Amino acid sequence: MVTSLNKVLVVSDYDRTLAHEKDGFFLDDRVKERVENFAKNNFFAVVSGREKRLIDVFARGFTPTAWVLENGALIFVKGEEKVNAPECWFHEREKISSTLKEMNIPYSLGKVIIYINNRKLSHEEISSLNELCDVEYNRGDAMLLPKGVNKASGILKLKEILKFGGLTVGVGDGENDLKMMEVVDVKVAVKNAVPCIKEIADVVLTHEDGEGIMELLDMIEKGELKSSEA
Ligand SMILES: O=C(O)COP(=O)(O)O
């Protein structure tokens, strides 16, 4: 049982978890306020595949404890940015970009990540890319990152930065949240999560997206969140 005496770190996915597709992924003001209120006594980090420049538009003025963006590759705490990738990656990324051009695969670059949106990769394409980097899926999109860099490594790095050793609750909806679930104590799925997340979840929320997040924060504050680890 999580009691109100213990500080909790909630690590939450963004798209289809905090923010709803029907709102064009703009963060609802009620969800924003609820999370900021929770983060006064606990910790709340948004862990997303998205780039900071887009988050700054969709979640304007939102101030959770921290951001783990580009699927674990970039961490922001109190306005300070930390890159969670080896220096050699940036040289390797140039080689991968040339390979993608040769393969006629359209891509875009974040600060660290490579995105391939709305294009299904063939087995052959995935295996040649897998020799160079990790390929991770989120619904129809692929993200290319240095080997071992994902939401899990981003969360572990964040915990180091925050010096946080307490209970970590992970909440998400998509395939790229599976890694995140490997490093949290309590796994939570929003109602609209894909089956592979619901199957491993300790708790499946009765609400979708931001409504689900508000339901989860109420459960934590009321001491109602239970799991084998909690
Ligand atoms: O990369 C995206 O578009 C969405 O990322 P998220 O689901 O991890 O928030």
pLDDT at 227: 57
Q: What is the rounded CA–CA span in Å between residue 179 and residue 19? A: 20
Best residue for ligand 1 mutational test, from 12, 13, 15 (most atoms within 8 Å of Cβ):
15
Q: What is the rounded CA–CA span in Å between residue 3 and residue 195? A: 30
Q: 106-155 pLDDT, tens per residue?
A: 999 999 999 998 888 888 998 889 889 999 988 778 999 999 999 999 99
Give the fold, CATH level 3, of 8-83+151-221: Rossmann fold (3.40.50)
pTM for the model stands at: 0.93
**Interval between CA 1 and ligand 1 midpoint (Å):** 30
**Interval between CA 8 and ligand 1 midpoint (Å):** 23
Q: Is the CB of 50 under 6 A from ligand 1?
A: yes
Q: Is the CB of 15 under 6 A from ligand 1?
A: yes
Q: Is the CB of 14 under 6 A from ligand 1?
A: yes
The CATH 3.40.50.1000 portion of the chain extends over 8-83+151-221
| 185 in catalytic set | no
Q: What is the rounded CA–CA span in Å between residue 78 and residue 212? A: 26
Closest ligand 1 atom to 177 CA: 8
Pick out the chain residues at pLDDT < 50: 1-5, 229-230
pLDDT at 104: 92
Q: Is the CB of 168 under 6 A from ligand 1?
A: no
For residue 216, the number of C-alpha atoms closer than 13 Å in the C-beta half-sphere is 32
Burial class (CB in 10 A: 0-12, 13-18, 19+), 199: exposed
Supply the ipTM of this predicted assembly.
0.93
Closest ligand 1 atom to 14 CA: 9
- Which residues make Cβ contacts (< 8 Å) with residue 216, sequence separation at least 6? 10, 169, 171, 188, 203, 205, 225
pLDDT at 3: 44
pLDDT at 128: 87
